[in-house]
Structure 1
Amino acid sequence: MERFLARLMPGIDLGWEGASTAEIREIEALAGRPLPDFYRWFLARMGRNMGALGYASVDFSAARILACYREELRSPDPRYLLIGYEDDPVVPMHTWYDLARPMRGDALVLSRGIGDPLIQLDFETFREQLAWKAMLNFRLDALPASCKGSFKSHRADVRARLDQAMNALNFEQPVPSGDFCGIFDRTDAAMICSVTPREEPEKILFFRLAAANAGTMRRILGVIARETDLEVVIDPGQP
């Protein structure tokens, strides 16, 4: 993850500040179990300041999380651990771990309000959420041509079939991800994919693709459609 982020933005780690050992221990005590390995790394490296990776309205700092547990949460939940506090008072959908659904040294990430039983599933892991956003902000947005849309299939193996085409197109996957997220990169193009994580793989993936020019994008999407039989749907108004 650090190599991936440093490649996207050299020197990005210069803005990071890690949480203290005491803060990490206190959060782990609130969780009532060992923290996911990735979250422990995140707290140690940027649990005080995320630098350029920071979100506009969500505070992932250890200090804010601990303050919220002291001031707003009456008692820790054995399943859901708050990891990001949403400062927008209109739609206060905070970010949580579902510790009952561990995955690849990490855990499922969801959004919900404090005391709200309704939840919105976001990413299968916190690693994928951070990598997806970083790829969008620092890689796709820097390329001159872009489009978005979806890959659809009547079978629930969209991601596996997409992987075959992306390998043939010489894309690499710099960050491990599962059936509900994809991060692909090569010299002249980059693509991110995601869909709400479920118990079973979905028959659709939403994508954002960016490249050096529109012709490159068309060739990439053409190969994907031809080699996988996936239905490539471009959102209205896209090139």
Structure 2
Amino acid sequence: MERLLLRTVPGLAEQWRGAELAAIENIERIAGRPLPPFYRWFLLRMGESMGPLAYPTLDFSAHRVLACYAQKLVKPDSRFLLIAYESDEMMPLHLFYDFNAPARNDAMVTSREARGKELTDAFETLREMLAWGALSLFRIDKAPHTSSGSLKGDTPEFLTNLDSVMSSLGFEQPIPTGPLCRLYERPDAVMVCRGTPRSETGNRIAFDLGGSNLGTLRRILGEIATARVVELQMRK
């Protein structure tokens, strides 16, 4: 994960800043349990500043998290832990870990109002959220040509069928991911796939693809369609 972010996000190594151990320990006390190993790594690396990776309205800093609990904006909860404060007053949906859904040394990221009950799930793990965001922002959004659509399969694990196709096209997977997320990259193209946990939308996942030229995108999509390991639908 660290290698992926450092090579993808310009200036990250010079600008990210970790939280102090005392702050991390205070967050762990609020959680009432050991923090997921990935979250502890995140706080040690970016717990005070995410540098260029920072989200426009979401504050992931340990300082902000602790302030929200100190100000009683959020109450300690054995299931949910605030990990990012949303400053958009129109839709103040803050990000929380859902400890009822642990995954791969991490946990599900969901959003809700500070004391609300209705959840909007985002990613199975914070790791996948950050990696997906980095590749989307710094590779796909900056690519000369992009395409998007959806993929559908017969089982919840259908993306495993796509892995061999993408590998044959020279793509690598920079980090391990779960059944709802895939990240594929090679020097001239990147593809990210994302499904929403607990959404009950069936075995359908959105994808975005970016590349150096239009012919590259057409060849990639053509190979995926020809392999018939997934159902491919284009949006744009």
Measure the CA separation in 2 of the matches of 1:192 and 1:100: 26
Please state how far the C-alpha of 1:155 moved relative to its aligned partner.
Answer: 3.7
Matched, 1:98 2:91: no
Aligned to 2:49: 49
Tell me: CA distance 1:117–1:9, structure 2 relative to 1, closer, same or farther (3 Å). Answer: closer
Counterpart secondary structure, 2:141: helix
Task: Tell me what 2:138 maps to.
Answer: 138
Q: Find the aligned partners of 1:126 and 1:98 in 2 and give their Cα distance.
A: 11
Question: Partners of 2:195 and 2:170 in 1: how far apart?
Answer: 23
Structure 2 CA distance for aligned equivalents of residues 186 and 206 of structure 1: 20
Q: CA deviation at 1:142?
A: 2.2
Structure 1 Cα separation of the partners of residues 72 and 144 of structure 2: 45
Q: Is the 8 A contact 1:110 1:121 kept in 2?
A: yes
1:201 positional shift: 9.7
CA contact (8 A) 1:31 1:81 kept: yes
Contact preservation (8 Å) 2:149, 2:206: yes
Deviation (angstroms), 1:74: 5.8
Match of residue 34 from structure 2: 34
Cα distance in structure 2, aligned partners of 1:130 and 1:182: 13
Structure 1 residues 74 and 83: CA distance shift in structure 2, 3 A: closer
Equivalent residue for 2:175? 175
Unaligned runs of 5+ in 1: none
Q: Which amino acid aligns with 2:162?
A: L
Deviations 1:197-222 (Å, cap 9, x if unpaired)?
Answer: 23999411100001111111111111
RMSD after superposition: 1.6
Q: Distance in 1 between matches of 2:131 and 2:3?
A: 11
Partners of 2:105 and 2:202 in 1: CA distance: 23
Counterpart of 1:170, as a letter, is: G
After superposition, where does 1:1-239 map in structure 2 within 5 Å?
1-73=1-73, 75-198=75-198, 202-235=202-235, 238=236
Taking a change above 3 Å as real, the CA distance of residues 132 and 51 of structure 1, as seen in their structure-2 partners, is same
User: In structure 1, the residue corresponding to 2:149 is in which secondary structure?
Assistant: strand
Cα displacement (A) at 1:140: 1.1
Gap regions ≥5 residues in structure 2: none
Aligned-partner Cα distance in 2 for 1:62–1:38: 15
Q: Is the 8 A contact 1:151 1:231 kept in 2?
A: yes
TM-score, normalised with respect to structure 1: 0.94
Structure 1 distance, partners of 2:121, 2:77, is 17
1:146, 1:209 within 8 Å by CA — same for their partners in 2?
Answer: yes
